[in-house]
Structure 1
Amino acid sequence: MKEKILKILDKYQTNSILFTNIKETSYLTGAEFGGFWLLNTKDKTHIICSKMIETQIRQYFEKQDMCIHAELSLYKTVVKILKQDKINDLLINPKYMNAADFILINENLSHEKINLIKKTGILDSLRIVKSTVEIENLKKACQIVSEVCNTVKEELKPGLSEIDIHYKVIELFAKNRVTESFTPIIASGTNSANPHHRSSNRKITENDIVMMDIGCMYNGYCSDLTRTYFLGKINNNQKRIWDIVKSSQSAVLKEIKAGLPVSWADKTARDIIEAAGYKDKFIHTTGHGVGIEIHEMPSLAPNAEGIFLTYMAVTVEPGIYIEGEFGVRIEDTILIKESGCEVLTSAVY
């Protein structure tokens, strides 16, 4: 953690940085519980928390070189520490700070003439490439979601509602001692034409279509997987569109590797779908980064900047959506390698 913090402080030319969100604090400390702030000043690391979780904090960090402050007012404690250490500025990421905390911190720092430096994406450059431990957590999350998807597929049948399937997914996650990394998307029939459909009471019918977009979180790391299944008979148009989407995804998975422009992935997938005549029916980007958040950098968008780096974790998820009829999306989470990729999700297609 200290090495990561030093890189950030050096990059932004400041002596202090404050993290208040559980996503940031868990990434840096490994603690998967919230309720505390992490303040780094020069060569000191401060944990600031309420009295309610002081015991838990001291137990978790007992073998680490931390200064622990259990106080009634977290933001006043931050100001007090900065004054004691004679620090004149504080770096924060406003994206992860709620409005009330931001206002209180800003007011108190202004009163003490301490400059507040506001930058988004502070941890992005560190989070974008995964460590060995992070990769193992991602692989486990992907293994679990793949097994859950396979189990649910075997149980799909007419009469089940979307919400029945939704809670079956959550039940299976619970049996694996994990939680969902986002609200499951179970879309059947014409609902599958809505990429972010909210699971409803619609019941599956004979020869129906079911799109499942699900993910779980293991040790703080997310997985993301989408499959589109046809129950019973599939007509020629449905099969053609499913084949186009799968060909689009396969073209990316076959060639993607470190060193390629990030924008290449979207162009490769989109060119195939556009050539098939469905240019206006692919209505989202081709994928996104995955880690401690279900959506993080990089975005596999047409205008994406930068190149793929070894050990980036991303999704590849092209789709075609025919309003009023049906939609098809196929998504896998992958790990970028020097000469290709490793597909981490393995649910049957």
Structure 2
Amino acid sequence: MNKLKNTAMAVATLLLVSCTATSQKIKEKTVKKHLYTLASDDMEGRRAGTPGIEKAAQYIEGEFEKVGLTTFNGADDFRQRFKKTIKGNDLDLFNVIGVLEGKSKKDEYVVISAHYDHLGIGKAVDGDSIYNGANDDASGVAAVLALADYFKKKDINERSILFVAFTAEEMGLVGSNYFGTTVDADKIVAGINIEMIGKTPSFGPNTAWLTGFERSDFGKIVQKNLEGTGYVLHPDPYVKFNLFFRSDNASLARLGVPAHTFSTSPIDTDKDYHQASDNPETLDVGVITETIKAIAVGTTSMIDGTDTPTRVQLTDEEMNRRKKKKKKSE
């Protein structure tokens, strides 16, 4: 009995040390700086193709450079540039990508992503016409930046990590769809997408939910890694909204990658979603910070090469829908 008790105490101590170490590297003050900068009026709502999103891209690039990331595929800078005609407008677009090269498994990749665009300037509500997109998705980009710094300092990534800020998600997953055409999906082990993590979910404090939970064992791996931490990951409770295919994870999931989106927001009751009221002041920075820490701990075994999630399989109906959508966009 004493041996079992000592073992349990040792495990608890290791978990506490692990969580404390994560806490020391992911600071609420830094997360708040990222959030308030990206969701400031100066960014003008970060609509793709506008001067506002250019400012956001420059901020993200600066943070990637501070962390010490390298560029993707030998590019001269952190931008992945492409052109796209959307609703008759020819747009010069760019994802922002930073790379942390792996060690023993550097040819295997984990993608950590969020979209940095939002809706821009629109109809004024109570005198506010700037749709800042604090929760959607400055909160996710803040997470990407914090995790880039965390994993760089942690130095445990046997696999290479691509930190990606996708553009034009609000225009139909445009940035992530393009990204998917430029990578070898077979080499991407996991996609960790983060969207709208600034509000307490219906499950209560210290919880998050994951889209497409049943489509791979990605979520179960995260749950296993979070055991004993006091943070719990749940399957997506909003199945009727089909969220698995409505965020940037879908662009990789359609290629078979176990790519899923972490979120905390109560979608069915969120009055700020796609509204001018989606401002930083409506969010809980503590919730964002704790969720980032949980994502760090929960995905570590994928980063260090211990766990490899099962691949995503699409139904025939989903494959046909994908083909029709692709043909329509060409």
Whether the TM-score (by the shorter chain) exceeds 0.5 is no
Which structure has the larger Rg?
1
TM-score, length-scaled by structure 2: 0.29
Larger relative contact order (CA 8 Å, sep ≥ 6): 2
TM-score (structure 1 length as normaliser): 0.28
